[in-house]
Amino acid sequence: MRYLCLIIAISLSSSAVFATEDMDAKLDNYRSAVGKLMKVLKPELVNAMKSKGPVAAIEVCNTKSPTMTNAVSQETGFVIQRTSLKPRNVSNTPDEWETKVLNQFEDRKAKGESPKKLEFYEIIENDGKRQIRYMKAIPTSKPCTICHGEMIPPPVQAKLKELYPADKAIGFKVGDLRGAFSIIDTITQ
List Cα–Cα distances, 134 to 26, 62, 96, 145, 186, in angstroms. 10, 24, 14, 26, 11
pTM summary value: 0.85
Is there a contact between 24 and 128 (Cβ–Cβ < 8 Å)?
no
Q: Which of helix, strand or coil describes residue 186? A: strand
CB 175 within 8 A of CB 140: yes
Say which CATH number the domain at 175 has. 3.30.450
Q: What residues pair up with 132 in beta bridges, in sequence order?
A: 123, 185
Q: Is residue 14 part of a domain?
A: no
Question: What string of pLDDT tens digits covers the 189 residues of the chain?
Answer: 433 333 333 334 334 445 455 899 999 999 999 999 999 999 999 899 999 999 999 998 899 999 999 999 999 999 999 999 999 999 999 999 999 999 999 999 999 999 999 999 999 998 899 999 999 999 999 999 999 999 999 999 999 999 999 999 999 999 999 999 999 999 876
Structural Rg of the chain based on CA atoms: 19
Look at the chain and report how many structural domains it folds into.
1
Range of the domain at 58: 21-186
